[in-house]
Amino acid sequence: MDFQYQRMLIQVTWVGVILSLLSAVAAAATEYPLALPGCPEKCGDVKIPYPFGLTEECRLKDTSGRKFLLTCNSTSGQLKPFSGNVEVTNISIHGEMEILMDNAVDCYGQPREQLEWRKRLRSGNYTISDTQNKFVAIGCDTYAYLHGYKNDKPFSMGCLSVCQDTSNVVNGSCSGIGCCEMDIPKGLKNITLEAYSFKNHTEVWDFNPCSFAFVIQGKKFNFSADYLYSLRRNETFPMVLDWAIGNEKCEVAQNKTNYVCGWNTRCEDPNNGSGYRCNCTNGYSGNPYLKDGCKDVDECEELKHNCTTDTQFCVNQPGSFRCECKEGYHLDGVECVHQTSGHSLRAIDLGFGAGIGLIVMLVCCSWLYLIVKQRNLTKVKEKFFKQNGGFILQQQRSRQENSTETVKIFTTEELKKATNNYDETLIIGRGGFGIVYKGFLPDNKMVAIKKSKIVDQSQMEQFINEVIVLSQINHRNVVKLLGCCLETSVPLLVYEFIPNGTLFEYIHSESKVSTISWEICLRIATETAEALSYLHSAASTPIIHRDVKSSNILLDSSYTAKVSDFGASRLVPLDQAEVATMVQGTIGYLDPEYLHTSQLTEKSDVYSFGVVLVELLTGRKALSFDKPEVERSLVTYFLLSFKENRLFEILEKYIANEGNVEQLKEVANLARKCLSLKGEDRPTMKEVAMELEGLRKMEKHSWVNINSNFEETEHLIAETSDSSKYDVRSKSTEVYDSVRDHVLLDFDDGR
């Protein structure tokens, strides 16, 4: 018996050990990573969650500067994190940071200039928490101020505290007798504290030698009369700052490439300050700012479920759990009951038969419903196909049976499958004329699918003609139109996919600026000019693009230029030099002559291309409302600088440092000609392309005399431009235009 007892005791002991190990493993599994892989998660006793970090590689590169970079310094033999010179005591991934803040002091009987009676907190990157903090003034002869900026405007508030002695001071009361406290308003940043006394005391008040002012975390402050004589200078008080990502709310941030919220998260707008925050969705936990930081919570393992009866057991599932009945039990309503024989089994049989009958009936009804729905859907597709000019397009294609460049007509199902039912994660551009999705055809060919916003139904035949013409354009520097879908309320256009983004990004995005050399910039400009020249003079029907800008110039993997977005383009009859049309384009690139006369010519594209040239040279945007008035319009500022011989003051630094001084002068001079107010004074795109190509060749053959060759080229352009004055025809006619009753000035990226 003793042997059996010992054996049983050993078995129980082993079971206990195994259960302890399983509990330890489960506890370890619930510890979620806080920092980026390979980055420290702590400084001393303080956890440092991403987006914060102790090195440049470990923190989020936020556009607002060094906001998330902390330092880990040794103070009194202990490591502590600092933001600037402010000690950080805790960081919450829910948008709060706890710090230690000095007080402002004014002591009686001491010269003010020897006192640190003003305390500042430069918290431009953070907002003072209005729910966690209080502004407090302590003293019997005290008035204090809190200055700062609220919603980017100066803001001040004050607090007054008076008493003759400590007899009237009440512990726990901060209503103006020995202590004054005020709530912090929303949106407050960059605070300064000031403490003063009303009288010049000849004697020091033993019970209250100084006046104090500070901001403190409300739940950690309970006033006591002892504070009147126990507080000292250089004391620190706990306070809370609110932090968020960037300056934009969720609605805007979620559509940008630098959106940081990871998987299984939701975006939330903070109640205090600007920017946005990330939170794990229900059933998930971890750091929502890491790409895969929010992981599924095992409610069953962590006992966070309600499957508590003896007849149930818990089954975990992504983001949730479910309760199932143990063997020998079945679900009856919301409870698990014991399975029985006899009447219960017969009831089960009857229920099973009724269930089968109900299922058969539902299947039949669903089948009939799907048939009716499919017929209605077919009718709707036929209606849209006819409305969008599908029959006209089929007739045009039948006339071009011998041509290999016919446009393909896609079905709605093909494009839905290609875009995963228009998944928002596949959106690669939003413009004034529609949304562009990345898609994959059945042969794995990558395409760009443009979903237009609106098409003028009264001019659908001209639209179809334009689709036919664009599908036949075969130029290495023009994005190829592959086909369209006409079975939806607005047509869908299918283009070849260009992977490397827009020229606009390489000029203005901080992460891409200076990644391409001036030589590549000059090649891109030359290729763009050649494409526009082809559209103007070599296409079967001349085409005016009408929305030339850097965001409509795409770059492939080898930085070859591809002109895109013909949503605003116009076909020009061969017997006309200009057409009358409603003004359409993008502010900053728009030809002023076209804007005033509504007469669209090829020279309108020349002007817009001139703006792109100036963008390449200066690295500035066409319009910059955040700059001084003289610099807001890039064209005006460039022409003024050119006239005053200050060209190299406004050139992009990395371009100016490459040493191509004469070449840069010539390109700037060409841009100036393109930006002439009168169209007749501008060169043609063919002349522009020739001059840019000449500049490229001279760069490759440095032994060529640049000045002498360009004098000849300028003379040639001047003669050609003068002769064009007599070739402009005033005759105009009404042509296809998708905007008839209003002027559309597009501020979007247009891609």
Q: Which amino acid is present at 509? A: S
Question: How many distinct structural domains can be found in the chain?
Answer: 3
β-strand pairing of 481-485 with 408-409: parallel
Q: Of 434, 465, 496, which residue is a domain's last?
A: 496
Backbone angles phi, psi at 442, to 5 degrees: -55, -30
pLDDT tens sequence across 367-402: 887 877 777 666 666 666 666 656 556 665 555 554
**Three-class secondary structure of residue 46 per DSSP:** strand
Buried b (16+ CB within 10 A) or exposed e, 96-105: bbbbebbbbb
Please determine, for residue 721, whether its predicted confidence score (pLDDT) is greater than 50.
no
Cα–Cα distance measured from residue 549 to residue 241, given in angstroms and rounded to the nearest whole number: 43
Q: Which amino acid is present at 184? A: I
Looking at per-residue pLDDT, the higher value among 725 and 281 belongs to 281
Average pLDDT for 508-528: 87
**Do 468 and 446 share a domain, yes or no?**
yes
Q: Is residue 316 part of a domain?
A: no
The reported pLDDT for the residue numbered 29 is 46
What token pair was written down for 577?
């030099």
Please determine, for residue 557, whether its predicted confidence score (pLDDT) is greater than 80.
yes
DSSP 730: -
**Do 491 and 509 share a domain, yes or no?**
no
637: exposed, middle or buried (C-beta count within 10 Å: 0-12, 13-18, 19+)? buried
Is 451 annotated in a binding site? The answer is yes
The band of 108, judged by pLDDT with boundaries at 50, 70 and 90, is: confident
Given a contact cutoff of 8 angstroms between Cβ atoms, the answer to whether 491 and 484 are in contact is yes
What token pair was written down for 621?
């945007």
**Do 481 and 507 share a domain, yes or no?**
no
Q: Which of 246-255, 467-476, 508-517 has the highest mean pLDDT?
A: 246-255
Contacts of 354 (CB under 8 A, 6+ apart): none
| % residues pLDDT > 70 (the chain) | 74
Cα–Cα distance measured from residue 308 to residue 671, given in angstroms and rounded to the nearest whole number: 78
- Cα–Cα distances in angstroms (integers) from residue 290 to residues 17, 59, 130, 613, in the given order: 35, 11, 28, 40
What token pair was written down for 345?
């089994």
Q: Is residue 746 part of a domain?
A: no
Please determine, for residue 730, whether its predicted confidence score (pLDDT) is greater than 70.
no
**Three-class secondary structure of residue 397 per DSSP:** helix
**Do 692 and 717 share a domain, yes or no?**
yes
**Do 445 and 518 share a domain, yes or no?**
no
Cα–Cα distance measured from residue 427 to residue 115, given in angstroms and rounded to the nearest whole number: 59
Please determine, for residue 712, whether its predicted confidence score (pLDDT) is greater than 50.
no
Q: Of 242, 271, 297, which residue is a domain's last?
A: 242
- Cα–Cα distances in angstroms (integers) from residue 429 to residues 36, 130, 257, 361, 594, in the given order: 30, 39, 11, 47, 27
Q: Of 475, 496, 517, which residue is a domain's last?
A: 496
What is the distance, to the nearest Å, from the Cα of residue 445 to the centroid of all Cα atoms in its chain?
28
pLDDT tens sequence across 144-195: 999 999 988 999 999 999 988 888 899 999 999 999 999 999 999 989 999 9
Q: Is residue 448 part of a domain?
A: yes
Q: Match 């004014």 to its residue by tokens.
A: 106
Looking at per-residue pLDDT, the higher value among 210 and 215 belongs to 215
Contacts of 274 (CB under 8 A, 6+ apart): 244, 246, 247, 248, 249
Q: Is residue 462 part of a domain?
A: yes
The band of 96, judged by pLDDT with boundaries at 50, 70 and 90, is: very high
Question: What pTM was estimated for this model as a whole?
Answer: 0.46
Please determine, for residue 579, whether its predicted confidence score (pLDDT) is greater than 80.
no
The reported pLDDT for the residue numbered 301 is 85
Mean pLDDT of the chain: 79
The reported pLDDT for the residue numbered 237 is 93
The band of 89, judged by pLDDT with boundaries at 50, 70 and 90, is: very high
β-strand pairing of 492-496 with 284-286: unpaired
Strand order in the sheet with 408-409: 408-409, 481-485, 492-496, 446-452, 434-440, 427-431
Radius of gyration of the chain measured on its C-alpha atoms: 36
Q: Which amino acid is present at 160? A: L
Please report, for the domain that includes residue 455, its CATH number: 3.30.200.20
Q: Is residue 708 part of a domain?
A: yes
CA atoms within 13 A on the CB side of 645: 0
Sign of the C-alpha dihedral computed for residues 737, 738, 740 and 746 taken in this order: negative
The band of 112, judged by pLDDT with boundaries at 50, 70 and 90, is: low
- Cα–Cα distances in angstroms (integers) from residue 126 to residues 60, 80, 129, 191, in the given order: 15, 20, 9, 11
The reported pLDDT for the residue numbered 292 is 85
216: exposed, middle or buried (C-beta count within 10 Å: 0-12, 13-18, 19+)? buried
Q: Is residue 63 part of a domain?
A: no
The band of 122, judged by pLDDT with boundaries at 50, 70 and 90, is: confident
**Do 606 and 678 share a domain, yes or no?**
yes
**Do 476 and 603 share a domain, yes or no?**
no
Please determine, for residue 459, whether its predicted confidence score (pLDDT) is greater than 70.
no
How many residues in the chain? 751
Q: For residue 611, what are the domain limits?
A: 503-572+579-728
Cα–Cα distance measured from residue 258 to residue 597, given in angstroms and rounded to the nearest whole number: 42
With CA atoms as reference, report the closest residue to 601 among 576, 626, 620.
Answer: 576
The reported pLDDT for the residue numbered 347 is 60
Q: Which of 118-127, 305-314, 721-730 has the highest mean pLDDT?
A: 305-314
pLDDT tens sequence across 665-708: 999 999 999 999 999 999 999 999 999 999 988 765 554 444 44
The band of 750, judged by pLDDT with boundaries at 50, 70 and 90, is: very low
Peptide bond into 288 cis (omega under 30): no
Helix boundaries (H) for 335-408: 343-387, 390-399
667: exposed, middle or buried (C-beta count within 10 Å: 0-12, 13-18, 19+)? buried
pLDDT tens sequence across 395-407: 655 555 544 456 7
Buried b (16+ CB within 10 A) or exposed e, 529-543: bbbbbbbbeebeebb
The reported pLDDT for the residue numbered 531 is 94
Given a contact cutoff of 8 angstroms between Cβ atoms, the answer to whether 571 and 655 are in contact is no
With CA atoms as reference, report the closest residue to 574 among 735, 403, 715.
Answer: 735
The reported pLDDT for the residue numbered 707 is 46
Looking at per-residue pLDDT, the higher value among 100 and 108 belongs to 100
The reported pLDDT for the residue numbered 392 is 58
Looking at per-residue pLDDT, the higher value among 413 and 512 belongs to 413
**Do 162 and 187 share a domain, yes or no?**
yes
Please report, for the domain that includes residue 707, its CATH number: 1.10.510.10
What token pair was written down for 585?
């384009």
The reported pLDDT for the residue numbered 354 is 81
The reported pLDDT for the residue numbered 197 is 86
Q: Is residue 3 part of a domain?
A: no
β-strand pairing of 744-745 with 584-585: parallel
**Do 552 and 462 share a domain, yes or no?**
no
Q: Is residue 82 part of a domain?
A: no
Average pLDDT for 576-586: 64
**Do 508 and 492 share a domain, yes or no?**
no
What token pair was written down for 202?
């000849």
**Do 548 and 433 share a domain, yes or no?**
no
What token pair was written down for 207?
């019970």
Average pLDDT for 540-553: 86
**Do 450 and 425 share a domain, yes or no?**
yes
With CA atoms as reference, report the closest residue to 669 among 641, 632, 697.
Answer: 641
Q: What is the SS3 string spanning 518-579?
A: HHHHHHHHHHHHHHHHHHHHHCCCCEECCCCCHHHEEECCCCCEEECCCCCCEECCCCCCEE
Q: For residue 685, give the H/E element and its range.
A: helix 685-700
Given a contact cutoff of 8 angstroms between Cβ atoms, the answer to whether 537 and 686 are in contact is yes
Cα–Cα distance measured from residue 751 to residue 748, given in angstroms and rounded to the nearest whole number: 8
Cα–Cα distance measured from residue 497 to residue 243, given in angstroms and rounded to the nearest whole number: 39
User: Mind telling me the catalytic residues?
Assistant: 547
The reported pLDDT for the residue numbered 565 is 76
The reported pLDDT for the residue numbered 746 is 41
Looking at per-residue pLDDT, the higher value among 459 and 74 belongs to 74
**Three-class secondary structure of residue 430 per DSSP:** strand
Cα–Cα distance measured from residue 500 to residue 180, given in angstroms and rounded to the nearest whole number: 61
